[in-house]
Amino acid sequence: GAVVSQHPSWVICKSGTSVKIECRSLDFQATTMFWYRQFPKQSLMLMATSNEGSKATYEQGVEKDKFLINHASLTLSTLTVTSAHPEDSSFYICSAKRDWGKETQYFGPGTRLLVL
Amino acid sequence: KQEVTQIPAALSVPEGENLVLNCSFTDSAIYNLQWFRQDPGKGLTSLLLIQSSQREQTSGRLNASLDKSSGRSTLYIAASQPGDSATYLCASSNQAGTALIFGKGTTLSVSS
């Protein structure tokens, strides 16, 4: 149990286009999901906290108009990178916290984005 | 603001060795501390989670300890195997339900 999926796993897009990444908790409800970004040989950095039914909370330095987050249901959060540029190329990972039980976050497999 | 540091950044050992990975954090008021494994180009696999009230957790050949007063955690891997080769990340959470703050990881290579 406690599986989190991400789609797509790998995307290449042209500069200026928008890319949507989905994060789903497959077998549990998650009121809260987190979006992280990882640059090569760097650690995961929190981008934003996604809450079902309310606006996301963004970390300092993360542009909310560029990285649109929608937590549409208790099992789905989406991250849309708008007008993507090469510097947005990164590994994006989401995690979901189960609404009950242990305080463990379950991580998705990640989405690798390459902007040409 | 919490900062998490991992030393060393990289470690190479021969198969069969016991080894210790180190993690330190600046704010001792943590809620929990977690160790993850990340294979190249992959997501995270949770290894061990230690609540702030606990001193250690064990799973198979892995043992993680937590010393809040000194701001340190260690991950002990016994009888290392080539399959243990990966990057190991340490992360802390300062409150229930909040995001994790990660260290940069230790990349482990175990040679056969």
Q: In this complex, do A43 and B41 lie within 8 Å of one another by their Cβ atoms?
A: no
Q: In this complex, do B89 and A44 lie within 8 Å of one another by their Cβ atoms?
A: yes
DSSP letters for chain A? ---EEEE-SEEEE-TT--EEEEEEESSS--SEEEEEEE-TTS-EEEEEEEETTS--EEPTT--TTTEEEEEEETTEEEEEE-S--GGG-EEEEEEEE-SSSS--EEE---EEEEE-
- CA-CA-CA-CA torsion sign (B41, B33, B4, A93): positive
Chain B residues touching A93 at Cβ < 8 A: 43-44
Q: Which residue has the higher pLDDT, B95 or A30?
A: A30
Model confidence at B97: pLDDT above 90 = no
pLDDT at site A45: 94
The pLDDT tens digits of the residues spanning A23-34 come to: 999 988 888 999
* Average pLDDT of the residues of chain A: 92
Q: Which long-range contacts (C-beta less than 8 Å, at least 24 apart) are formed by B8-11?
A: B8/B106, B9/B104, B9/B105, B9/B106, B9/B107, B10/B106, B10/B107, B10/B108, B10/B109, B11/B106, B11/B107, B11/B108, B11/B109
Query: Which range among A14-18, B55-59, B98-102 shows the weakest confidence by mean pLDDT?
Result: B98-102
Q: Which residue has the higher pLDDT, B43 or B36?
A: B36
pLDDT tens digits in sequence order for chain A, 116 residues long: 688 999 999 999 999 999 999 999 998 888 899 999 999 888 899 999 998 888 899 999 999 999 999 998 999 999 999 999 999 999 999 999 877 666 678 899 999 999 99
Give me the mean pLDDT over the B82-87 stretch.
97
Q: In this complex, do A32 and B34 lie within 8 Å of one another by their Cβ atoms?
A: no
Place of tokens 């809260």: A32
A-B contacts at Cβ under 8 angstroms = 56
> Residues 6 or more apart from A100 whose CB is under 8 A from it?
none
pLDDT at site A103: 64
CA B16 to chain centre: 19
Model confidence at B64: pLDDT above 70 = yes
pLDDT at site A113: 97
Q: Which of A103, A104, A106 to mutate to test the interface with B (most CBs of B within 10 A)?
A: A103
Model confidence at B86: pLDDT above 90 = yes
